[in-house]
Amino acid sequence: MKRPLLLACLVCLASCQRATVDENGARVVLASSPQRVATTAGIPASQGTLPQATATLAPVSGAGRTAGGMSPPRVVPDPPFTSTPVATFNEPWAMTFLPDGRLLVTEKRGTLRLAHVATGQVGQVTGVPAVAYGGQGGLGDVLLHPRFADNRLVYLSYAEAGSGSTRGAAVARATLTLDASGNGGSLSNLQVIWRQLPKVNGESHYGHRLAFGADGKLWITSSDRQAMTPAQDLQSALGKLIRLNDDGSVPPDNPFAAQGGIAAQVWTLGHRNLLGIAFDNAGRLWTHEMGPAGGDELNLIERGSNYGWPVVSNGDHYDGTPIPDHATRPEFNAPEAWWTPVIAPAGFVIYSGNLFPWYRVKGFIGGLASQALIEIEFNGTQAREVRRYPMGRRIRDASRGPTARCGCWRTAAADDC
């Protein structure tokens, strides 16, 4: 039986000094300086069904590490955050801020919630498409159009049923109308703009993380659905990073546009299970993906590049069968950072604000199996883990808030990652 999971969400509030751990041990990250919020999940079956929560976040006072640089040193508290639950959700998977600071939160079973972070009040947005719930499938990411203030467009990704027992990811967009009460809303004019083809059997490795680039193009992570070999086939969407116009049409400057069909949508290939995507402050695109038994990857995305799955990996198959490492096949793009044992990465944000200069251009990856937040340091096109923050719960995702003073981490549903 699927158990409901915790979602913790934080917002920087100057009046807050520290937060607490709730009675169920559910943590919400309270950044002592970083602009982020954390959600935690993954209730062990032995604990039974427990409530889920969101929480508020604020600076933590006290001594800690000193961040230097050209400006005067600043004290970074250590530990840098604590947590306080403020609302509950059932299997939360993703979240995005509205411009006014409220949150849209997806629940895996197919419900879109509207949450007031300041009050903890949670409502519902109707009009969500039917989802194929099961395994890692269900309602996935949620993202606002870059011109949301003008067009009110919201993008959703989800697992969609096909013929027989087949399934695949899909992305739809719709117009969001909020109720006059401000506690709920509805989606209208829903349009499916992309489908992950071919649909295949199974309930794993959908990917379907969403991001918009500075040029207004929509990026979709399309995982391999555990089919493996289609990741090398340009006429399959499996194991690819997809780049589209905001209406789902194909940009003519995509690297394989001349081949037509699915290949025209593809920006990169040879991926396994892509569950994080973020742009850095220089406009470089980074993704991370789950490896098999070992070999989780953080990759710098380069136009038209092949990242090697399943021909190469820094991990092995689950049955112990070796896979050649990236170093054996230099024609494939090797990861900038990789992990064995795995961290089971999920969700990704790169901080680019001014309020917390010691975290500028740092990345934060949610860890499922590792139950941690993974801090990443970038040096141009290089990347490495510099710190790990144990959370005691599975961290699904991370997202920046609408102002320099707030942000949020979001956590995961209990899937089999």
* Structure confidence by residue, pLDDT tens digits, 162-175: 999 999 999 999 99
Which helix (DSSP H) or strand (DSSP E) does residue 150 occupy?
Answer: helix 148-151
**pTM of the entire predicted model:** 0.85
Backbone angles phi, psi at 372, to 5 degrees: -150, 165
Question: What pLDDT is attached to residue 204?
Answer: 98
The C-alpha atoms of residue 125 and residue 184 are separated, in whole angstroms, by 5
The answer to whether 30 touches 84, Cβ cutoff 8 Å, is: yes
Class of domain 30-410: mainly beta
Q: Reply yes or no on whether 145 is catalytic.
A: no
pLDDT of residue 6 exceeding 70? no
Q: What share of the chain in percent tops pLDDT 70? A: 75
Closest CA to 205 of 301, 273, 155, 263: 273
Q: Compute the mean pLDDT over every residue in the chain, rounded to the nearest whole number.
A: 81
Between vectors from CA 85 to CA 84 and to CA 90, what angle results, nearest 5°? 155
The C-alpha atoms of residue 12 and residue 19 are separated, in whole angstroms, by 12
pLDDT-based confidence at residue 119 (cuts at 50, 70, 90): confident
Catalytic residue among 205, 208, 271, 288: 205
